[in-house]
Amino acid sequence: MKRLVCLFGLPVLLFAGEIGGVELPNTLKVGDQSLALNGAGLRKKLFVKVYAGGLYLTHKNANAAMIIAADETMAIRMHFIYDGVAASKLTDAWNEGFNNATDGGVKAFQSQIDQFNGYFKAEAAKNDVYDVVYEPGKGSSLLINGEIQGTIAGLDFKRVLFGIWLCDKPADANLKKGMLGK
pLDDT tens digits for 108-153? 999 999 999 999 999 999 999 999 999 999 999 999 999 999 999 9
pLDDT tens-digit readout, 141-165:
999 999 999 999 999 999 999 999 9
- What CATH number labels 18-179? 3.50.70.10
- Euclidean distance between CA atoms 175 and 81, whole angstroms: 14
Q: Given this model, what pLDDT does residue 46 score? A: 81
Q: Given this model, what pLDDT does residue 16 score? A: 52
Backbone dihedral angles phi then psi of residue 54, each to the nearest 5 degrees: -130, 140
The helix (H) or strand (E) run that includes residue 66 is helix 64-69
Q: Given this model, what pLDDT does residue 14 score? A: 34
Indicate the pTM of the whole model: 0.89
Q: Is the pLDDT of residue 7 over 70?
A: no
Q: Given this model, what pLDDT does residue 115 score? A: 98
Contact 41, 35 (CB under 8 A): no
Sheet holding 27-30, edge to edge: 27-30, 33-45, 48-57, 74-80, 129-135, 139-144, 147-152
C-alpha distances (whole Å) from 57 to each of 30, 40, 86, 95, 117 are: 10, 12, 29, 25, 24
Q: Given this model, what pLDDT does residue 182 score? A: 87
Q: Is the pLDDT of residue 82 over 50?
A: yes
Q: Is the pLDDT of residue 10 over 50?
A: no
Q: Is the pLDDT of residue 102 over 70?
A: yes
